[in-house]
């Protein structure tokens, strides 16, 4: 089929308001919008001002009323425990209504915040939808974060209630969530009024009297009492959720997502970008704690009337490299969205793809990869083994849906390996030099988006308009700064090469090296430190720490390094994958005192580097190279 991409994209460019007004027809509004886009509202404008709506209504209730009551809405497939649970749209509604009633009875109202700190269980999705149903603002915190990170989010979001679970399941270990939650609440200045705890059989936990509520008991009580809570009308511009993402310091940024624009953008993307039809099975193998989980495990598929798969497992080891193919065949998945790391892991264990023919993948049409750079070898391997189009695409927590993709629903364009595709309607993507001038096609520069951002993107940061302006809008006036560096080719395909800030991407997880440095610096024996992201064949990048010890420290440096690694795991969490610290005598700096992290990374990655003209003492770089060689790095 010839691609309609150019026609659709040009149509958006000619008349953006018409484009979004047409897209908005796919959503059921309680009352219509006054303006499609109001440039004078908010920081850079707001979408669908004046409209009232409800995201839970569109994701659940309208499907029940509209003939999908008996269609499976959500499949929980736990490759770790072996359990599979399925919920029809009618059952999903019953679960969500009962939970909403629990929240309501605990005094949770429109505008209140609720933190959800849960493993990959269906109750995490119920919790998100229950908040949406009464207009409460949820903030899901990824389970791989430790107490300190959770506490930071508690203090910023100030939740009335926290919904959590007794434990999560990782391969070979049960992760006790409750002690992490209790410690976070102990550390935070803000204290939630109560915690609703889902007890899992693998590890039950003690509940605190007058504070912790048993999730199952509370929901069962409401169900027995015949609870019924209607969807509360909220403004299209009211926040649906806050999702925290790494900033350049230890203080994460609270990305705000509104109700109206978010629904419109996701519904459009499901059909036109992912090429999926209502009633089909869509699987995003990510975590509800990440934006992919919000957009493409929960909201996107449900808004579109699809069946979504919520998978608790890993691409390998649960139990083998055939797990993904088992899930696709067992549940009739038509499209899978995952991170390239997952495919590198599968390829590493099953290079010949011997597990693939063991399963019936006849319904499977498309593989989507995002979250980190997809290397061409991995894409080609997946194409060859699966015999379906493999679509790399690019977006951010901030945007909530793809900025660039090869749009399956509009008809695929030719694939260019190494490129995550072409800009989607709403995104006028430019590449600028550091002075803000557009560079010629094929030239590397700062990737930016001309304002306004489209429906579904963040309107601001939670309680931090100024930080939003400063972080995203000030450096290139009139544009949103993606903080990615890349280039656009003659055919309008984008190539994304690197970050322009201190964020690194570890297995698709966006992490701040600045936040890690704050942890290293907190060790009593550390005088100075630096963290850089170095290349890793499996995870794309991993962090590498350097520490300079305080004068007079006589303790064994190996012991201190182990303590530093433990500290990062305790403060940030296992997801940081922080495993290596090298003790050095001095850090290389410019004469003005700036640490030469870029040069250190190049030495560790054995890339070409030139002696920085402003370096204070060039000999230090030899010391670094020697220290790294001693650890088998940069050889």
Ligand X SMILES: CCC(=O)SCCNC(=O)CCNC(=O)[C@H](O)C(C)(C)COP(=O)(O)OP(=O)(O)OC[C@H]1O[C@@H](n2cnc3c(N)ncnc32)[C@H](O)[C@@H]1OP(=O)(O)O
Q: Which residues contact ligand X (rule: CB under 6 A)?
A: 119, 143-144, 168, 170, 175, 286-287, 290-292, 314-315, 339, 341-342, 370-371, 395-397, 507-509, 539, 574-575, 577
For residues 303 and 298, give the distance between their C-alpha atoms in angstroms, rounded to a whole number.
Answer: 9
Nearer residue to ligand X within complex by CB, 71 or 81: 81
Q: Which tokens belong to 182?
A: 């209790």
Contact 514, 502 (CB under 8 A): yes
Rank residues 276 and 624 by Cβ distance to ligand X and give the closer one: 276
Give the nearest distance from C-beta 28 to ligand X in angstroms: 27
Give the residue with the Cβ less far from ligand X, 287 or 561. 287
The least distance separating ligand X from the CB of residue 506, rounded to whole angstroms, comes to: 6
Residue 175 C-beta: closest distance to ligand X, Å: 5
Nearer to ligand X, 100 or 482 (CB): 482
Helix (H, G, I), strand (E, B) or coil at 332: coil
**Angstrom distances, CA of residue 308 to CA of 61, 73, 389:** 16, 6, 21
Torsion of CA 113, 117, 121, 123, to 10 degrees: -30
Nearest approach, Cβ of residue 231 and ligand X (Å): 28
Distance CA 475, CA 494 (A): 21
**At closest approach, how far in Å is the CB of 509 from ligand X?**
6
Least distance to ligand X, CB of residue 339, Å: 3
For ligand X, the closer CB: 342 or 374: 342
Distance, CA of 15 to CA of 181 (rounded, Å)? 48
Q: Which residue has the tokens 């509940």?
A: 207
Quote the CA–CA distance of 486 and 392 in Å, as a whole number: 15
Residue 181 beta carbon to ligand X: minimum distance, rounded to whole angstroms: 12
Cα dihedral sign, 180-292-365-379: negative
- How far is 56 from 591, CA to CA, in rounded Å? 56
Whole-angstrom distance, CA of residue 8 vs CA of residue 19:
9
Q: Closer CB to ligand X, residue 33 or residue 311?
A: 311
In terms of CB distance, is 260 or 543 closer to ligand X? 543
**Helices 16-24, 260-272: crossing angle, 10 deg rounding:** 90
**Least Cβ distance, residue 92 to ligand X (angstroms):** 23
Beta bridge partners of 480: 449
CB of 290 to ligand X, least distance (A): 4
Nearer to ligand X, 118 or 227 (CB): 118
Which helix (H) or strand (E) segment holds residue 271: the answer is helix 260-272
Closest to 36 (Cα-Cα) out of 45, 27, 401: 45
- Cβ-based nearer residue to ligand X, 286 or 366: 286
> How many whole angstroms separate alpha carbon 388 and alpha carbon 366?
6
For residue 361, what is the enclosing H or E element? Answer: none
User: Based on CB atoms, which residue is closest to ligand X, 104 or 571?
Assistant: 571
Cβ(602)–Cβ(634) below 8 Å: no
Residue located via tokens 């059909």: 271
At closest approach, how far in Å is the CB of 574 from ligand X?
A: 3
Give 98 or 369: the residue with its C-beta nearer to ligand X: 369
Whole-number minimum distance, CB 341 to ligand X, in Å? Answer: 4
Query: How far is residue 184's CA from residue 187's CA, in Å, rounded to a whole number?
Result: 5
Rounded CA-CA distance 475/451 in Å is 13
| φ, ψ for residue 206, nearest 5 deg | -75, 140
- Strands 540-549 and 580-583 turn out to be parallel
Of 547, 551, 555, 553, the residue nearest 528 (C-alpha): 547
Q: Which is nearer to ligand X, 235 or 367 (CB)?
A: 367
Radius of gyration of the chain from Cα atoms?
24
Distance CA 312, CA 289 (A): 13
Shortest distance (Å) from residue 120 CB to ligand X: 7
């Amino acid at each position: 089929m010839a691609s309609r991409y150019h026609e659709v994209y040009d149509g958006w460019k000619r008349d953006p308001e018409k484009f979004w007004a047409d897209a908005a027809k796919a959503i059921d509004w309680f009352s219509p919008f006054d303006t499609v886009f109001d440039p004078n509202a908010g920081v850079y404008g707001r979408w669908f001002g004046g409209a009232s709506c409800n995201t839970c209504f569109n994701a659940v209730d309208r499907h029940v009323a509209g003939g999908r009551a008996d269609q499976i809405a959500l499949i929980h497939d736990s490759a770790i425990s072996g359990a599979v649970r399925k919920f029809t749209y009618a059952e999903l509604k019953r679960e969500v209504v009962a939970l909403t009633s629990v929240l309501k009875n605990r005094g949770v109202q429109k505008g209140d915040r609720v933190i959800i700190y849960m493993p990959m269980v269906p109750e995490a999705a119920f919790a998100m939808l229950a908040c949406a149903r009464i207009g409460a603002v949820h903030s899901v915190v990824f389970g791989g974060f430790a107490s300190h990170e959770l506490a930071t989010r508690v203090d910023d979001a100030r939740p009335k209630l926290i919904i959590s679970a007794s434990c999560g399941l990782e391969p070979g270990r049960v992760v006790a969530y409750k002690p992490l939650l209790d410690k976070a609440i102990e550390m935070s200045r803000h204290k939630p009024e109560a915690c609703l705890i889902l007890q899992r059989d693998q590890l039950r936990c003690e509940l605190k009297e007058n504070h912790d509520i048993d999730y199952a008991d509370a929901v069962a009580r409401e169900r027995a009492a015949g609870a019924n809570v209607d969807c509360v009308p909220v403004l299209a511009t009211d926040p649906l959720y806050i999702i925290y993402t790494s900033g350049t310091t230890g203080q994460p940024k609270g990305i705000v997502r509104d109700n109206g624009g978010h629904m419109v953008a996701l519904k459009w993307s499901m059909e036109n970008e992912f090429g999926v039809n209502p009633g089909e099975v869509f699987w995003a193998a990510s975590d509800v704690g990440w934006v992919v989980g919000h957009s493409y495990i929960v909201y996107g598929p449900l808004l579109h009337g699809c069946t979504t798969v919520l998978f608790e497992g890993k691409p390998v080891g649960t139990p083998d490299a055939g797990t993904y193919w088992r899930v696709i065949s067992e549940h009739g998945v038509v499209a899978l969205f995952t991170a390239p790391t997952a495919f590198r892991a599968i390829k590493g264990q099953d290079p010949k793809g011997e597990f693939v023919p063991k399963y019936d993948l006849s319904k499977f049409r498309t593989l989507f990869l995002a979250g980190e750079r997809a290397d061409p070898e991995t894409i080609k391997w997946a194409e060859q083994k699966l015999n379906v189009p493999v679509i790399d695409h690019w977006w951010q927590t901030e945007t909530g849906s793809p900025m660039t993709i090869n749009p399956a629903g509009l008809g695929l364009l030719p694939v260019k390996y190494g490129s995550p595709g072409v800009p989607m309607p709403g995104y006028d993507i430019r590449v600028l030099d550091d002075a803000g001038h557009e560079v010629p096609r094929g030239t590397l520069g700062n990737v930016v988006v001309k304002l306004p951002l489209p429906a579904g993107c963040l309107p601001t940061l939670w309680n931090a308009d100024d930080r939003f302006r400063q972080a995203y809008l000030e450096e290139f006036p009139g544009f949103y700064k993606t903080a990615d560096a890349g280039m656009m080719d003659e055919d309008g395909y984008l190539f994304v090469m690197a970050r322009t800030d201190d964020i690194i991407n570890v297995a698709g997880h966006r992490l701040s090296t600045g936040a890690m440095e704050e942890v290293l610096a907190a060790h009593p024996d550390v005088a100075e430190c630096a963290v850089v992201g170095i290349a890793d064949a499996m995870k794309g990048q991993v962090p590498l720490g350097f520490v300079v010890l305080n004068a007079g420290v006589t303790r064994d440096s190996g012991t201190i390094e182990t303590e530093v690694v433990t500290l990062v795991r305790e403060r940030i969490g296992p997801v940081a994958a922080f495993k290596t610290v090298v003790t050095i005598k001095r850090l290389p700096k410019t004469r003005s005192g700036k640490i030469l992290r870029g040069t250190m990374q190049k030495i560790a990655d054995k890339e070409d580097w030139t002696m920085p003209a402003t370096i204070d003492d060039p000999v230090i770089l030899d010391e670094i190279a020697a220290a790294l060689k001693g650890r088998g790095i940069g050889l």
